[in-house]
Amino acid sequence: MKKIIYLASIILGLSACSESIQPTRNPAFGGEKITKTDSTWKSELSPDEYAVLREKATEAPYTGEYDQLWDTGTYVCKACGLELFKSTSKFDAGCGWPSFYEGIDKKNIREVRDTSHGMNRIEIQCARCSGHLGHVFDDGPGEEGVRYCVNSLSLGFKKR
């Protein structure tokens, strides 16, 4: 788990988060939910992927495979393959994690209030498997002004 830093990277890397952001009501996910035992997840994911996706860890900033990937394609949930973000919505936020200003479908990303580590944030999860993806902040460039800050370890990439 060399790339995983729990508290330190969260506090240092996300210290600019806004406490005013509120979770939005996401439309209900219309597909079949995926539920697996911890032992099954552990057998399907690497230890680092498991720590992020199932235990809500955070990879160290600027270490992720997709932070500076600018290829054209689609980012999917590493655990279940649900399509989450198009490469066209990715931007360089300078925060050390892949950042997107919109998801492919609001139904695919669930927002959950997160008050861990003494912070007030909105966690984002895969709506199909409940895998931890990262957090959403209200400082993005798109129409809605959001920045989905995502761990590379929670993503897969389908190159177009």
> How confident is the model over 109-123, as pLDDT tens digits?
999 999 988 989 999
- Residues annotated catalytic, as ranges: 149
Confidence of residue 30 (pLDDT cuts 50, 70, 90): confident
Does a structural domain hold residue 110? Answer: yes
Q: Residue 52: which residues within 8 A CB-CB, separation 6 or more? A: 4, 58, 59, 132, 151, 153, 154
Q: Is 43 helix (H, G, I), strand (E, B) or coil?
A: helix
- Full domain range(s) for residue 118: 7-14+33-159
Does a structural domain hold residue 19? Answer: no
Average pLDDT for residues 18-45, to the nearest whole number?
Answer: 77
Does a structural domain hold residue 133? Answer: yes
Does a structural domain hold residue 23? Answer: no
Does a structural domain hold residue 25? Answer: no
Could you tell me the CATH number of the domain that includes residue 81? 2.170.150.20
Q: Is residue 21 pLDDT above 80, yes or no?
A: no
Percent of the chain with pLDDT over 90: 76
Contact 79, 44 (CB under 8 A): yes
132: closest CA among 89, 94, 84?
A: 84
Cβ atoms < 10 Å from Cβ of 87: 19
Handedness of CA 128, 133, 134, 140 (dihedral sign): negative
Q: Is residue 153 pLDDT above 90, yes or no?
A: yes
Cβ atoms < 10 Å from Cβ of 20: 7
Q: Residue 59: which residues within 8 A CB-CB, separation 6 or more? A: 3, 4, 5, 9, 48, 52, 97, 151, 152, 153
Average pLDDT for residues 141-146, to the nearest whole number?
Answer: 90
Does a structural domain hold residue 2? Answer: no
Does a structural domain hold residue 24? Answer: no
Predicted pLDDT of residue 26: 64
Predicted pLDDT of residue 142: 81
**Tally of structural domains, the chain:** 1
Altogether, the residues listed in the chain come to a count of 160
Q: Is residue 83 pLDDT above 60, yes or no?
A: yes
Q: Is 2 helix (H, G, I), strand (E, B) or coil?
A: coil
Query: Rounded to two decimals, what is the model's pTM?
Result: 0.84
Does a structural domain hold residue 56? Answer: yes
